[in-house]
Amino acid sequence: MVRAIRGAVQVDANERDAILDGAAELVNAVMNRNDLTTDDVISVLFTVTPDLTAEFPALAARKIGFHDVPLICATEIPVPGAMPRVVRLLAHVESTRPRSEIQHVYLRGAAALRLDIAQ
């Protein structure tokens, strides 16, 4: 079955290392909490808030082994008052888990975005 997994992390600054570290932490948490390997991942869409321009978060996934997984990055719409410095992902994966057992991951300050499902 194909499942979708959401996640987000708030990073400390619009700096290359901060974006890469946050994105890697997010990807690793999604993979670990859902018992996934890169072979299970169909594709990942990353988005960033408009204030994050120093690096593509997909590069973090490439650096941790997502060599043949389709990845793409986009910018979130600039909603006034939205939380700043957020990297989000939507991963499409193959999993036998029922939808109710999928672990969505919200880290650091981004946990406030989805208190109902944040881990």
CATH of the domain at 20: 3.30.1330.40
Domain membership of residue 14 (yes or no) is yes
Domain membership of residue 77 (yes or no) is yes
* Res. 116: pLDDT tops 90: no
Place of tokens 């060599």: 67
- Does residue 101 have an active-site annotation? no
Domain membership of residue 7 (yes or no) is yes
Phi, psi (deg, nearest 5) at residue 10: -95, 130
Catalytic entry in 33, 76, 97, 108: 76
- Does residue 73 have an active-site annotation? yes
What is the enclosing helix (H) or strand (E) of 59?
helix 58-63
**Which residue segment(s) compose the domain that 12 sits in?**
2-114
Mean pLDDT of 60-70: 97
* Res. 112: pLDDT tops 90: no
Domain membership of residue 23 (yes or no) is yes
- 96, exposed or middle or buried, with CB in 10 Å at 0-12, 13-18, 19+? exposed
Using a cut of 0.85, tell me whether the model's pTM lies above it: yes
Contact call for residues 106 and 117 (beta carbons, < 8 A): yes
Domain membership of residue 119 (yes or no) is no
Where are the extended beta strands (E) located within 1-119?
2-10, 41-48, 71-75, 86-94, 105-107
pLDDT reported for residue 118: 53
Number of separate domains in the chain: 1
Tell me: the pLDDT tens digits for 16-49?
999 999 999 999 999 999 999 999 999 999 999 9
Catalytic entry in 15, 62, 94, 101: 62
Cβ atoms within 10 Å of 97's Cβ, excluding its own = 15
DSSP code of 13? Answer: S
Catalytic entry in 3, 25, 85, 106: 106
- Does residue 85 have an active-site annotation? no
